[in-house]
Amino acid sequence: MSATTKARRDTPPEEATAKAPPPVTERSSVAEKRDPGKAPPAATTPFLLDFFPLEGPDQTRLARFFERLKEGLLCTTRCPRCGALHWPPRVACPACHAEDLEWIDLPSTGRIYAFSAVLAGAPLGMESDVPFAVGLVDLDGVPLRIFGRIDGRPWKELDIGSAVRVEPLPLADGRVFYRFRTVD
């Protein structure tokens, strides 16, 4: 194992204790890594392990999802031709291949269908968050079951059927993703 590899492995936990939340620090370094004019940062997440890929309208036709998420709303696509409701949002309907899809906002609340706890082996950037819960949530009023991390109550206090709501997770470099949070 090279010295470079060792340094990369050693550095993230130190950053994780200095700055919260750790995932943001990790992912913000990825954008810097793509700039060829800059010296590489001390710690980087390998591009292929970046969980939140490019979000801008010049990079993805799904940019609206991230724009709405910054406003606190989940949205997805629906096919006006065959009526299929998609998750995750699509650029083409997997049922009939139509591309003129429409965007619809989704409910921000739901209930836990199933969950599990991450006790070890967490993804890069989330090592210091262990233990945490991930699970499937049935959104209220729509036939969609969505996977996500569930924050709020400790995982041992979660129940099947617990109420949760969607919340945006801002990242330091301006991107955004979502998590669920328990509603008490």
Name 145's bridge partners: 138
Burial (0-12, 13-18, 19+ Cβ within 10 Å), 100: exposed
Of 89, 75, 91, 86, whose CA–CA distance to 168 is shortest? 75
> Residues 97 to 116: which contact Zn ion by CB under 5 A?
98
For position 82 contacting Zn ion by CB under 5 A, the verdict is yes
For position 20 contacting Zn ion by CB under 5 A, the verdict is no
User: Encoding tokens for residue 9?
Assistant: 């492995």
For Zn ion, which stretch binds (CB under 5 A), given 5-13, 32-40, 91-99, 115-123?
A: 91-99
For position 91 contacting Zn ion by CB under 5 A, the verdict is no
Reply yes or no: is the peptide bond before residue 88 cis, omega within 30 of 0: yes
Nearer to Zn ion, 85 or 130 (CB): 85
For Zn ion, which stretch binds (CB under 5 A), given 27-35, 64-72, 92-100, 116-124?
A: 92-100
- If DSSP codes are grouped into helix, strand and coil, which group holds residue 1? coil
Say if residues 60 and 54 touch (Cβ distance below 8 Å): yes
For position 84 contacting Zn ion by CB under 5 A, the verdict is yes
CA dist., res. 98 & res. 80, Å (int): 9
Nearer to Zn ion, 19 or 81 (CB): 81
Binding-site member from 79, 106, 133, 137 for Zn ion (CB under 5 A): 79
For position 31 contacting Zn ion by CB under 5 A, the verdict is no
Binding site for Zn ion (CB under 5 A): 79, 81-82, 84, 93, 95-96, 98
